[in-house]
Amino acid sequence: MNTSKRYERIAFVASPSVEAQAALVQLTDEYGNCDPQAADVIVALGGDGLMLQTLHEHMRTGKPIYGMHRGTVGFLMNEFSQHDLRTRLDAAQESVIHPLLMRATDVDGTVHIHHAINEVALFRQSAQAARLRILIDERERMPELIADGVLVATPAGSTAYNLSVQGPILPINAALLALTPISAFRPRRWRGALLPNTAYVIIEVLEGEKRPVAAVADHDEVRDVRRVEVLSDKTISMRMLFDPGHSLEERILREQFGY
């Protein structure tokens, strides 16, 4: 038995699935279940959806989060095992990620502020394609993008929705953001841009009454936006733990080679 006190107090959280709830019972019986506020580490049992939820809930605490796969999609999770958990936690490698900050102004002038770990995305709300103007660091870079939408993705989120719309995969430690169009109509051949993670991205909605647009920061949605500002929030650092050889950096690298 590992005698290290580094992760003595463990808090478990689990998705509602039968598989995750059964794992919660097993692990609680063996290791106890500390209150998250007093815990040294938080162990999330489920899929990537639960991991994102847990990261959001504990975004400002600085507590390390270790996921074990008891859900559907497990890109952000480690393999499940109830044995020698503290030994695994002590051997785990840490990846530090920063969220995006979205500041969305709606048609009434109300400002909505949300954080995103994966991406901030703008989508058309109707059958009409969105018309968008893009500025980087307050300089106009694209006067008009006609598309289903556009997204800004972090390296951690580059293998999620960004990848499904043909965006680039970014190494986890890359000081970059991906700006990727969603079904671009004009300019038809534009495939997006790689931006420094210091970039201040502004997306303005043109003809918003005729072509309404929604903005989504991970799971937080704002309807009928007129202006969306996005930047990497370096004031928040989230610590994710991965088993040796299965770090987030390694997973993203493997994804680029198709396995």
| The two three-digit tokens of residue 21, written as one number | 């709830």
Q: Active-site residue among 29, 35, 40, 48?
A: 48
Q: Cα torsion at 155, 159, 164, 169 (round to 10°)? A: 60
DSSP 159-222: TTHHHHTTPPP--TT-SEEEEEEEEEEESTT---EEEETT--EEEEEESTTTS-EEEEETTEEE
Beta strands in 27-159 (DSSP E): 41-46, 65-69, 93-97, 100-106, 111-116, 119-124, 130-136, 139-153
Euclidean distance between CA atoms 214 and 5, whole angstroms? 47
* Cβ-proximal residues to 249 (8 Å cutoff; 6+ apart), any chain: 95, 171, 172, 173
Radius of gyration (Cα) for the chain, nearest Å?
20
| The two three-digit tokens of residue 49, written as one number | 């959806």
Using a 10 angstrom Cβ sphere, with 0-12 exposed, 13-18 middle and 19 or more buried, the burial of residue 109 is exposed
Establish whether 48 is a catalytic residue: yes
Kind and range of the H or E run holding 231:
strand 225-232
Question: What residues act catalytically?
Answer: 48
